[in-house]
Structures are given as C-alpha cells and as structure tokens.
Structure 1
Amino acid sequence: YIPAGTAMPDHGHRGLELTLVLQGAFQDDEGYFARGDIEIADADLHHTPVADITQDCICLAVTDAPLRLKGLARLAQPFLNI
C-alpha cells in the first residue's frame, strides 16, 4: 500500500521482486505501472517507487530475498522482516 503521492523507501534488491498493481499506479526509474501491470525487479534495480497523485496504490509484491533498504529504513529492516 502506497498512499497517493507518497514515495516508498529508497531500496534495491538481493534477488527478484515481482510487483502486480491491483489499484492505482506508481512510477519509478523503470517507468509508469498502472492497474494490471507487473514490474520485475532484480539485483540491478535500485529505485524509489512513488504512487500516482490521483489515487492510493495497492500492489501485491513477492520477493525471493530481502530488500536492500537505504537510510533510516535500513535500521528498521530486521524488526520488520523485509
């Protein structure tokens, strides 16, 4: 869930992440992803997804390895198990 106009924490990937947009849309360095779109992220992608300003974005994201968070989010990662 990403509230409209809000950015997710800046992060990279240790493995694959598949993200299916169920409602709304988001944009990152790879492009614009709307309802029904799937983004495939691998270890080469480092991004900060931002929800479209018009509607909250709800996605189903599946990963096969933990994310590589940056900044303060990295400190919370062990407690959030992400």
Structure 2
Amino acid sequence: MAQDKKYTSAFAIVTTLFFLWGFITVLVDSLVPRLKDVFELSYFQAGLVQFAFFIAYFIFSIPAGFMLDRVGYKKEL
C-alpha cells in the first residue's frame, strides 16, 4: 500500500506538468497573432516567435542529454 501512494503522487505531478506544458504551447499559438497586431510584425517576424519557442527544445536537449549521461536518470537508493 505504501508503494501505491508514492506512485500516485508521482503520477499526479507528471500529469500536471504535462498539462501545463501543453497549455503553454497553446498559449504561444494564440500569442503570435496578438503580437503581430500590437507590434505590427510581418508574418516572417511573427513566425520567429514560434521558432524561438520551439528551437529551445533542441538547444536545451543537448546539454540535458549530456547531463543525464553523466548523472543518470535513475536515483540510486
């Protein structure tokens, strides 16, 4: 029974983070037209906003991969 409680809290945290990650991604999609109007951006410039958001996944995945390779993904008990 104690094991189930530990996994339940981890599941709740991961589910919440996944929801927030998806919500932020949707916000970027709705933010681009607003930025285009407010700052009078061209379609290319407005597209750079989304490009900057999604290129961060690529940029941060490389150092994160090195860190996981060095430290490991599983905590030793």
For normalisation by structure 1, the TM-score amounts to 0.19
Q: Higher helix fraction: Structure 1 or Structure 2?
A: 2
**TM-score of the aligned structures, taking structure 2 as reference length:** 0.20
